[in-house]
Amino acid sequence: MPQVMEFKLPDLGEGLTEAEIVRWLVAVGDVVAVDQPVVEVETAKAMVEVPCPYGGVVTARFGEEGQELPVGAPLITVAVGTGAAPGPEAEASGSESTSTSASGSGSGSGNVLVGYGTDHSRPARRRRVRPVTAGVAAPVVPAVTAPPAGSGPVAAGPVPVISPLVRKLAKDHGVDLRALRGSGPEGLILRADVEAALRAPEPVPVPMPTALAPQGERIPLKGVRGAVAEKLSRSRREIPDATCWVDADATELMAARAAMNAVGGPKISVLALLARICTAALARYPELNSRVDLAAGEIVRLPAVHLGFAAQTERGLMVPVVRDAQSRNPESLSAEFARLTELARAGKLAPADLTGGTFTLNNYGVFGVDGSTPIINHPEAAMLGVGRIMPKPWVHGGELAVRQVVQLSLTFDHRVCDGGTAGGFLRYVADCVESPAVLLRSL
């Protein structure tokens, strides 16, 4: 006799508490294998395919595409130990089956996500499986009790719809099922309810009084945008930051890059050369590769440079992290920047790719701007901003000449160092940009 196993939305790591369902990869009645991805979700950090640790037949699916679920909420139930979807009689006879969630013990793989195991510390619990009436498919979402007469439309919670045809009809015609009250048993929404909503006359718009300002478009502050907003707000609240900047002649740096790329082999990006300069500068000024532990009242200097870099994507600003950047040469840095940027734009970065940074390099010159005052990527201590490199009049060798000039700006946490240290770091970076031989001497 098959066991019905309940798989819950796992902890995706790094303090994430919820995820939005982007796309279901399985349907009720599908046979799934152990560790087969069953749903694609979007967290505040990345798009993730969630694998199910159980193999069997999908008997129920919880949540709709576009709906946010908290960690620990049920995703699907799987009948384990059968090769076909159980019929109504099998469901009824198995109503006392023992069900184990993915976060507890069970006969699944326990992987859930690579790098984030399941929690085996929670005891298994028993779950009563409700019998399914013959001839009715297993519900995608659990039914709820119909609201009392006159209570108004359903505003929140699962929508009482069983038929996928009814859902498709509503979706195709833009009908919000949450606004309907079903005429079926226990408030079940039927096809007739949707068709009645389609026949209803459109409400006449009420003109807005001239004294009121337009309401404008409302965009939910969630997902990546919400995570960025929270992180930047926290940075402003907690970090007493300051910014210093300097113009630098990047002509020699650009010439050095052209010479390096002329000999063949993998191309080296300007960002990789700037990253190599940053790691050398952080070796000289380790105060800026640190963070503040408020609970302990200490400044923690970090042994490795995990270099974050800003990457603009369709989902918003992402900051992938290059691990152990201090041990990489320009070719390795270029390759890693390219790899992470491609994953970011495809929405395939893992949460681990977006966390753990110790210093951030922000090349906003790609947007055609010269300067900025970056906001520190909390809980880091500093960020180097790089403007566009462009021809400008410059005094070189005592004469006025046209040179490739760039503005560099450093925003730093004033708790970890004073202006002398920050200025020394920025001046060293500028010296390396103006004369790459300075960097060679320090290696």
Count of domains for the chain: 3
Show which of 119, 142, 165 is a domain's final residue.
Answer: 142
Helix (H/G/I), strand (E/B), else coil: 411:
strand
305 and 351 in a single domain? The answer is yes
Q: Is residue 215 part of a domain?
A: no
Q: Say which CATH number the domain at 176 has.
A: 4.10.320.10
pLDDT at res. 441: 65
Q: Say which CATH number the domain at 36 has.
A: 2.40.50.100
Amino acid at 90: A
122 and 251 in a single domain? The answer is no
Per-residue pLDDT averaged across 151-176, rounded?
64
Helix runs in 200-250, H state only: 223-238
296 and 414 in a single domain? The answer is yes
Task: Please state, in angstroms and as integers, the Cα–Cα distance from residue 231 to each residue in 40, 318, 352, following that order.
Answer: 24, 12, 17
Catalytic residue list contains 306: no
Q: Say which CATH number the domain at 264 has.
A: 3.30.559.10
65 and 166 in a single domain? The answer is no
Show which of 95, 127, 142 is a domain's final residue.
Answer: 142
Range of the domain at 246: 223-442
pLDDT at res. 214: 64
Peptide bond into 379 cis (omega under 30): yes
Q: Check whether 78 has a pLDDT greater than 90.
A: yes
Q: Is residue 213 part of a domain?
A: no
235 and 264 in a single domain? The answer is yes
Q: Give the residue, 107 or 181, on which the prediction is more confident.
A: 181
- Are the beta carbons of 234 and 378 closer than 8 angstroms? yes
Q: Is residue 351 part of a domain?
A: yes
Using pLDDT thresholds of 50, 70 and 90, give the confidence band for residue 290: very high
Using pLDDT thresholds of 50, 70 and 90, give the confidence band for residue 314: confident
328 and 379 in a single domain? The answer is yes
Residues 6+ apart with CB under 8 A from 7: 38, 52, 53, 54, 74, 75, 76, 77, 78, 101, 102
304 and 386 in a single domain? The answer is yes
409 and 366 in a single domain? The answer is yes
pLDDT tens digits for range 18-47: 888 888 999 999 999 988 999 988 876 677
Q: Is residue 218 part of a domain?
A: no
Q: Is residue 380 part of a domain?
A: yes
Q: CA–CA separation, 256 vs 248, rounded Å?
A: 15
Q: Is residue 194 part of a domain?
A: yes
Q: CA–CA separation, 289 vs 300, rounded Å?
A: 9
403 and 332 in a single domain? The answer is yes
User: Which of 120, 132, 91, 75 lies closest to 4, judged by CA?
Assistant: 91
Q: Would the pTM count as exceeding 0.85?
A: no
Torsion of CA 280, 286, 290, 292, to 10 degrees: -160
Catalytic residue among 120, 173, 396, 414: 414
Show which of 142, 164, 191 is a domain's final residue.
Answer: 142
Q: Is residue 208 part of a domain?
A: no
Q: Is residue 342 part of a domain?
A: yes
130 and 148 in a single domain? The answer is no
Residues 6+ apart with CB under 8 A from 264: none
The least confident of 58-72, 148-162, 255-269, 395-409 is: 148-162
Using pLDDT thresholds of 50, 70 and 90, give the confidence band for residue 182: confident
362 and 312 in a single domain? The answer is yes
pLDDT tens digits for range 228-281: 788 889 999 999 999 999 999 999 999 999 999 998 888 999 999 999 999 999
269 and 377 in a single domain? The answer is yes
Q: Check whether 100 has a pLDDT greater than 90.
A: no
Using pLDDT thresholds of 50, 70 and 90, give the confidence band for residue 167: confident
Q: Which residue has the tokens 């399914």?
A: 132
Q: Which residue has the tokens 């906001």?
A: 375
Q: CA–CA separation, 81 vs 138, rounded Å?
A: 18
Residues 6+ apart with CB under 8 A from 184: 190, 193
